[in-house]
A and B are shown apart, each in its own frame.
Chain A
């Protein structure tokens, strides 16, 4: 792989991580209740997505099909020694697509709630959140324009996300 291609690959990898890793870990964690294994599975999903020939703009939907397949494979393997596994399998069938981006897009209420809540935030909080979360900027870069440390940016964004979650709970 050339240096340029490698750099591109790395940037796609970190982009995918940034966009999907927390949701994937949560997805597995709720079904497996083992942090290490949930993280390994999330990593496996991202690796398979990276190595697939799927176009970047279609990866998002693909990621949740891989996640589903991994979970089903795992449940089948476990069925041999664990009679409860069949219960896991049927549960996962029911709400496997809950994180599928199309599903989420269909839940427009959540999207419009989020947008409304974001619009009500102070400008500085909204800007920091958007730059970090959607423009993939580093905490360092964001800190530079506000004259604060990367750690202060991190704490501020976490605070904004805490507020967002609370307000989302109120609305839905």
Chain B
């Protein structure tokens, strides 16, 4: 375990670090033991080793300091971004199962990051209850990542690709704001109201399973189990728009009065998106494309001349936007072409590029 500089000088502190790293992995082999024993016989080496081991302990003690939590959050973010870049860079060359593996790895990282941040909220807080209420935890996924996190109260949060929510849990209430994309919830029953806001619409639940999505200018709510109330913002307070029944889905304008645009109610089955599939029932092409683009390393773009009234019905693999594009093109006489960064659906068959 030699570490020699260009000028031939051996850096003891780095060697001591390598020994600490090696020791943290488990018992040494006979040969390694002999090597360490010989190395540590030099007093300066022994001192370097004990200093390094002491740093190891100090690092452990610093792990939950607020400033360290912040740096850990940044490190995990940076790791996640690194993964997403890598995913984009290699998407074309790699077989699909590798992509699935990378996406899964990325979502594990999200969960770790979330746990770290939740730990932050657990730290003893010397301030008032208001201070605690002011602390929100953000969860975010990148393109083609999906992640599951268990919230502080035991509720389960499922985050679709390219989505973000902000969670704020206090002794009195549980508030989630959907900032982007779609989130599913399995709400733990514990008396505190669980409110999910998307746009100026709020869904209030107790113990139930549902999802809330921001898509373009719409807020979509799907209820799988239990019951929820849907509220709209009004000057002077929220107003109840409707109570939903299990197995139903609702589309509302994200902002503004629903009276001018009556809610679209459909049936909602098990949430396929949580399993990596997208299901559409008679939905406009632009909305379908927007959903696919949460997963697509190479976004789909609707080019000139594509009829505005194309509607999509079917179940698709979320990570295979290309196959979806080919299918739509074949069905509606469109052309699929590859741009520098995107896949373009445009009018006219056979007119390549």
Residues of A within 8 A of B (CB): 14, 17-23, 25-27, 29-30, 35-36, 39, 43, 60, 99, 101, 104-105, 107, 110-112, 114-115, 118-119, 123, 126-127, 130-131, 133-135, 137, 141-142, 144-147, 154-155, 157-159, 161-166, 168-169
Asked whether A134 lies within 8 Å of B59 as measured between CB atoms, the reply is yes
Asked whether A115 lies within 8 Å of B68 as measured between CB atoms, the reply is yes
Interface set, chain B 17-40, CB cutoff 8 A to A: 17-21, 23-28, 33, 36-37, 40
Interface segment among B73-81, B164-172, B178-186, B262-270: the answer is B73-81
Q: Which residue of A lies closest to B62 (CB)?
A: A111
Interface set, chain B 63-84, CB cutoff 8 A to A: 63, 65, 67-68, 71-72, 74-76, 78-79, 82-83
Asked whether A131 lies within 8 Å of B3 as measured between CB atoms, the reply is no
Interface segment among B43-51, B228-236, B248-256, B303-311: the answer is B43-51
Asked whether A134 lies within 8 Å of B23 as measured between CB atoms, the reply is no
Min CB distance, B39 to chain A, in Å? 10
Give the distance in Å from the alpha carbon of A141 to the alpha carbon of B106 in the complex: 11
Min CB distance, A71 to chain B, in Å? 16
Q: Knowing A114-B55, A114-B59 are in contact, say whether A119-B28 is a contact too (CB < 8 A).
A: no
Q: Knowing A18-B24, A43-B27, A126-B71 are in contact, say whether A162-B57 is a contact too (CB < 8 A).
A: no
Asked whether B14 lies within 8 Å of A35 as measured between CB atoms, the reply is no
Q: Knowing A127-B79, A145-B86 are in contact, say whether A158-B14 is a contact too (CB < 8 A).
A: yes
* Chain B residues near A27 (CB-CB < 8 A): 53
Min CB distance, A31 to chain B, in Å? 11
* Chain A residues near B195 (CB-CB < 8 A): none
What would 26 A/B residue contacts be, using CB atoms closer than 8 Å? Answer: A17-B26, A18-B24, A19-B24, A30-B50, A35-B37, A36-B33, A101-B57, A104-B57, A118-B71, A130-B71, A134-B59, A134-B68, A135-B75, A135-B112, A144-B83, A144-B86, A145-B79, A145-B82, A145-B83, A147-B86, A159-B17, A161-B55, A162-B14, A162-B16, A162-B17, A165-B17
* Chain A residues near B74 (CB-CB < 8 A): 127
- Knowing that A21-B26, A137-B79, A165-B13 are A-B contacts, what are 5 other residue pairs whose CB atoms are under 8 Å apart, sorted by A's residue number? A22-B19, A29-B49, A35-B36, A114-B62, A157-B21
Q: Which residue of A lies closest to B34 (CB)?
A: A35
Task: Answer whether residue B280 sits at the interface, using C-beta atoms and an 8 A cutoff.
Answer: no
Give the distance in Å from the alpha carbon of A69 to the alpha carbon of B8 in the complex: 44
Give the distance in Å from the alpha carbon of A131 to the alpha carbon of B109 in the complex: 11
Interface set, chain B 260-313, CB cutoff 8 A to A: none
* Chain A residues near B36 (CB-CB < 8 A): 35
Give the distance in Å from the alpha carbon of A22 to the alpha carbon of B82 in the complex: 30
Interface size for chain B: under 10, 10 to 19, 20 to 34, or 35 or more residues? 35 or more
Asked whether A155 lies within 8 Å of B3 as measured between CB atoms, the reply is yes
Partner of B28, one of A39, A110, A114, A165: A39
Q: Which residue of B lies closest to A110 (CB)?
A: B58
* Chain A residues near B54 (CB-CB < 8 A): 23, 26
* Chain B residues near A169 (CB-CB < 8 A): 51
* Chain A residues near B57 (CB-CB < 8 A): 23, 99, 101, 104
Asked whether B40 lies within 8 Å of A123 as measured between CB atoms, the reply is no
Give the distance in Å from the alpha carbon of A107 to the alpha carbon of B65 in the complex: 13
Q: Knowing A26-B54, A145-B86 are in contact, say whether A130-B24 is a contact too (CB < 8 A).
A: no
Asked whether A127 lies within 8 Å of B3 as measured between CB atoms, the reply is no
Task: Answer whether residue B61 sits at the interface, using C-beta atoms and an 8 A cutoff.
Answer: yes
Give the distance in Å from the alpha carbon of A127 to the alpha carbon of B82 in the complex: 11
Asked whether B51 lies within 8 Å of A104 as measured between CB atoms, the reply is no
Asked whether B58 lies within 8 Å of A104 as measured between CB atoms, the reply is yes
Give the distance in Å from the alpha carbon of A108 to the alpha carbon of B8 in the complex: 37
Task: Answer whether residue B131 sits at the interface, using C-beta atoms and an 8 A cutoff.
Answer: no
Asked whether A26 lies within 8 Å of B53 as measured between CB atoms, the reply is yes
* Chain B residues near A99 (CB-CB < 8 A): 57
* Chain B residues near A127 (CB-CB < 8 A): 74-75, 78-79
Q: Which residue of A lies closest to B60 (CB)?
A: A19
